[in-house]
């Protein structure tokens, strides 16, 4: 859905570099989910955030990965010291409230070389 | 193990055939959603089912939510090549914050 903007669409990083993925939710939405998708697979939950709060990060690796959703600006998924296994498509979804419908961005395809 | 189990994982049929795909869980959901994802794109919401036993129709697509709100099905009548894609179900359990997805059913409709 065009309302959720993710950038960049494609990101290439060398092993050991940092990757920053941005997600601007739909206007008025204060809930954001991040998912990871490997080729030919479904979406794996990573983290659920509300403005300025991490609600559930149980799906996110404890090392190298972090996420934030500041009061102003987009949600950021940050991957430090990337490895080849981090290569995947990362999608964010925004919701108005927790129980309402999720709208997805077009994803960021991260390639680690 | 997946919280939501989708079956079949892959389905290849001829144009004009009917099909049903399933989404099952041992957990109760406050609602379930179905999405379709095409290559290179994000998932697009098709429908949300909320009430146990609910049936919703979207043109040739019929969605059903189980009475116990643990499972759902998607039936497509007279499939067309444009229906090709990855069909994902998703839901949030009561009292939980995480909206989880099944692994999806990858449908191919051949002309």
A33 to chain B: which residues are within 8 Å by CB? 99
pLDDT at A1: 46
pLDDT in tens, B44-63: 999 999 899 999 999 999 99
- With an 8 Å Cβ cutoff, is A91 touching chain B? yes
Of residues A113 and B39, more confidently modeled = A113
Contact A94, A26 (CB under 8 A): yes
Residue found under tokens 């144009």: B15
- Alpha-carbon gap, residue B53 to B66, rounded angstroms: 5
From the CA of B82, how many Å to the nearest CA of chain A? 18
A43 and chain B in contact, CB less than 8 A: yes
Q: For residue B104, what pLDDT band results from cuts at 50, 70 and 90?
A: very high
* Phi, psi (rounded to 5 degrees) for B82: -65, -10
pLDDT tens, position by position, A46-94: 999 999 899 999 899 999 999 999 999 999 999 999 999 999 999 999 9
Interchain CB distance below 8 Å, B98 and A56: yes
Task: Give residues with Cβ within 8 angstroms of A51, minimum separation 6.
Answer: A30, A69, A70, A71
CB contact at 8 A, B49 and B31: yes
DSSP A25: P
Residues of chain B contacting A103 with CB distance shorter than 8 Å: 45
Opening angle at CA B48, ends A30 and A68, nearest 5:
25
């Amino acid at each position: 859905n065009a309302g959720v903007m993710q950038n960049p669409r494609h990101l290439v990083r060398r092993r050991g570099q940092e990757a920053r993925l941005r997600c601007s939710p739909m206007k008025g939405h204060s809930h954001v989910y991040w998912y990871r998708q490997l080729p030919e697979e479904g979406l794996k939950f990573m983290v659920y955030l509300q403005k300025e709060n991490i609600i559930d990060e149980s799906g996110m690796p404890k090392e190298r990965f972090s996420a934030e959703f500041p009061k102003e600006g987009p949600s950021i998924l940050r991957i430090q010291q990337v490895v080849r296994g981090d290569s995947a498509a990362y999608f964010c979804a925004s919701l108005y409230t927790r129980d309402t419908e999720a709208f997805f961005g077009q994803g960021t395809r991260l390639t680690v070389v | 193990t997946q919280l939501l189990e989708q079956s079949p994982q892959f389905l290849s049929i001829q144009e004009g055939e009917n099909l049903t795909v399933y989404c099952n869980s041992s957990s109760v959901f406050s609602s379930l959603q179905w999405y379709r994802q095409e290559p290179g794109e994000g998932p697009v919401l098709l429908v949300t089912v909320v009430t146990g036993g609910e049936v919703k129709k979207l043109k040739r697509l019929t969605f059903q939510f189980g009475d116990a709100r643990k499972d759902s099905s998607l039936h497509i009548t007279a499939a067309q090549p444009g229906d090709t894609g990855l069909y994902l179900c998703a839901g949030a359990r009561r009292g939980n914050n995480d909206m989880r997805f099944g692994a999806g059913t990858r449908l191919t409709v051949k002309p």
